[in-house]
Amino acid sequence: MARTQTSRTERVPIPREIKVLIAAAFIIAIGFGIIAPLLPQYAQSFNASATAVSAVVSVFGLTRLLFAPFSGRITSRFGETPAYMTGVLIVAASMFLVAFSQEYWQLLLFRGLGGIGSTLFTVSAMAFLARKAPPSIRGRVSGAYASAFLIGNIAGPVVGAALAVFGYRVPFLIYGTALVAAAGLVFFLLRDSRLADRGKPDTRPEMRVAEAWEHTPYRAALTSFFANGWATFGVRNSLTPLLAATAFAGTGFWLDGPQIAGAALSLFALGNIAAVTLSSRLSDVHGRKPLIITGLLVAAAGTAFIGWMDNAWFFLALCVLSGIGTGLLNAPQQAAIADIVGQERKAGPVMSTAQMASDLGAISGPLIAGLVVDAAGFGWAFLLSGAILAVAAVSWAFAAETNRPVSPGGPRTGALPTVSAPEPPAPDGHRPDAG
């Protein structure tokens, strides 16, 4: 039966419109990978202190968090494609301005501007995927979109290293140009879709966050988005390289500390890519919840013990394990939110709230974990991060499955019923629609 369900799922092709968005995501990710390693060094060239350098990195996430609610409203009002192109072009403008910054405050301001555009195109893309993805392959679509970003982020630093000989400013100009190209790709290749949407106004009702909150999987998803933002986008990028560079320097390992730091991030990404394709397809057949819980627990195990490792091989193995756990989690949790919203409702505010949860984790994680490192060491900081992932797994254990079969033994294509108003509780006190 599982083979029959899988074959039915795989026969459904990914729509051309979504393939265009995936291609644009790959272009954007390569550009981000080019500038990410160079940004701290560029900030230092303005004689900035370590704290000031960190502020340049953090202001991007802060503006994403603050602007997320507005991005959801803009997406619902003007449509996903116009909001997406506007967001990409805002980031492109910020990159050109960053490249020509003459003082530190300009660099800080223009990098923050990029965060506004980033959350706008991220939320609109999530809403677009929720509306356009066939219900039976939502997981596969989310996995393909995530894979484009992952592969681009791996290739980007390689390109960035080759461009380093041209100085700090040139890579930002190239990234800005790549963003304009991505916006142009969406503008021309999605022209028919955009004109069709303009000719037929989107009259779908908007799902309010309060409605989504009535579903236990949405509450669990906010928890897992926060935990993933904390551990993956926050602690992994800030503390893992620092741990590798300090704990394994001068140990006689064939890689030195900084090289182990680079290898740790690359192995995490490879484990992530290896798992995301598998999990996205399995979640379309067997449901989102088992993959999300498994991914959270695997990532929790890999993260909790990584700070206690004094053996470089074990350290790198845990990086791979953490990447696998994150890969198992990412696509199913995004598809789960699309299941809740369905194709009949606008998803902007619901998606932007999930993005806010992730950004909040990415901002608070490095700050709190950094304080723990200063007070008690790396081991306890990573143990705390693993515990947060485990708590998210527990929250999903009490949540309902969102990807329900439309018929007994049939492929899983059904979304949760939409909650329009709270229903009277059942005799046992359980609200049936909140499951």
Q: Is the pLDDT of residue 314 over 50?
A: yes
Residues 6+ apart with CB under 8 A from 149: 25, 26, 28, 29
Q: Is the pLDDT of residue 297 over 50?
A: yes
pLDDT at residue 127, as a whole number: 87
Q: pLDDT-derived band of residue 423, with 50, 70 and 90 as boundaries? A: very low
What are the structure tokens assigned to 240, written together? 């893992």
Higher-pLDDT residue of 71 and 408 is: 71
Q: pLDDT-derived band of residue 96, with 50, 70 and 90 as boundaries? A: very high
Q: pLDDT-derived band of residue 161, with 50, 70 and 90 as boundaries? A: low
3-state secondary structure of 1: coil
| Residues 393, 390: Cα–Cα separation, whole Å | 5
- pTM of the entire structure? 0.79
| Residues 405, 390: Cα–Cα separation, whole Å | 28
Q: Is the pLDDT of residue 163 over 60?
A: yes
Contact 417, 342 (CB under 8 A): no
The mean per-residue pLDDT over the stretch 293-319 comes to: 93
Q: Is the pLDDT of residue 419 over 50?
A: no
Contact 270, 323 (CB under 8 A): yes
pLDDT at residue 281, as a whole number: 85
The mean per-residue pLDDT over the stretch 141-158 comes to: 82
Q: What is the mean pLDDT of the chain?
A: 83
Q: What percent of the chain has pLDDT over 90?
A: 39
Q: pLDDT-derived band of residue 428, with 50, 70 and 90 as boundaries? A: very low
